[in-house]
Amino acid sequence: MKTLIQAALAAGAAAVSLAALPAHAEPAKPECIAPAQPGGGFDITCKLAQAALKESGALEAMLRVSYMPGGIGAVAFNTIAGQRRDEPGTIVAFSAGSLLNLAQGKFGAHTAADVRWVASVGTDYGAVVVAAESPWTSLKDMMEAIKADPSKVILGAGGTIGSQDWMKAALTARAAGIDHKTMRFVAFEGGGDCATALQGGHVQVCMNDVGDSQAAIDGGAPLKLLAIYSADRLAGKLGEVQTAKEQGYDIEWPIVRGFYVGPEVSDADYQWWSDAFAKSMAAPGYDKLLADRNLLPLPMTGDALKSFVDERVATYKELASSFGLVAK
């Protein structure tokens, strides 16, 4: 995974230019659809775009954020690919979870070729989150508890079987020598809903993401991170959290965050968004906007992003096949 991110950064650096925006007018009434309830990773992605596009001057109007939950992105994808195919002012947030669902056919008959991929704006990482008062102080503690009695540990996950949160748990179980089918899962629409259930004591663990989990902690939520699925420890305050690898579970789960538009959006409007994001990601304050959201750079636009998406979908299909979720 680390090699993948490095390759993507190299490709993105070549694709993201500092050129001035084209003369084509910015779209009227720009909107970013977060395909989940407020408070999760999609919400963070749209609000990052909102801030970056405004601060860089790439977008004069304020980007409106709206919410379209359902199927961890399926409802939004099907809506844009089906009924709202040519809206020039509408972008939709996607993540690694969206690509994993596409790989498993969870967006119905639609495939990655049914939308236009605009920009990747950063990368997040998977995380294991528990209540602050949890007796577990490490991922190993948690896995030992599951091994002792799987029925007593309820894991919350954004999405059902096969979602990226479920996949992180299943991979960790495999690494621990536990049959993933014995683990207890409760499916939520997104990370925000899972965090709420965790605070209410309805689940003992959330297989979540660093970005929205740390944002909740920074906001006063009584939660703590047990592990991060990154190759190396992250910077800043997150440097105190051990990686899953350090704790004996050789698993990485980077989470690309970005945007797509409808398949019939004109070339001119598509290019406007691509160049707007390129300008925003090259702006002096962009690194701080990422850091404030506990994200790392992964700048890609246009063809570089499309190639990345195609590669990821193929890789995720192989991973899902290894758990018997799709036919090989």
The alpha carbon of residue 321 and the mean position of all alpha carbons in its chain are separated, in whole angstroms, by: 21
Tell me how far CA of residue 133 lies from CA of 122, 128, 184, 198, in angstroms. Answer: 31, 15, 21, 11
SS3 call for 208: strand
Beta pairing partners, 218: none
Whether the domain at 2-124+254-322 and the domain at 125-247 fall into the same CATH topology: yes
pLDDT band at 192 (very low <50, low <70, confident <90, very high): confident
pLDDT of residue 1: 46
Superfamily classification of domain 2-124+254-322: Bordetella uptake gene, domain 1 (3.40.190.150)
Rounded to the nearest 10 degrees, how much is the dihedral formed by the CA atoms of 132, 136, 142, 145? -120
* Cβ burial, residue 77 (10 Å; 0-12/13-18/19+): buried
Q: Which two tokens stand for residue 287?
A: 């690194």
With a pLDDT cut of 70, the percent of the chain lying above it is 92
Q: Which two tokens stand for residue 35?
A: 């395909």
CA distance 243 to 229: 6
pTM of the model: 0.86
Domain positions in the chain: 2-124+254-322, 125-247
Q: 């305050």: which residue's tokens? A: 237
Give yes or no for residue 21 having a pLDDT over 80.
Answer: no
Classify domain 125-247 at the CATH class level: alpha beta
Q: Where are the alpha helices (DSSP H) in the chain?
A: 2-15, 41-56, 74-82, 96-103, 139-148, 164-176, 191-199, 210-218, 267-282, 286-292, 302-322
Which amino acid is present at 185?
F
pLDDT of residue 12: 53
CA distance 86 to 83: 9
Average pLDDT over residues 209-214: 90
pLDDT band at 22 (very low <50, low <70, confident <90, very high): very low
Neighbours of 31 (CB within 10 A): 15
pLDDT of residue 19: 44
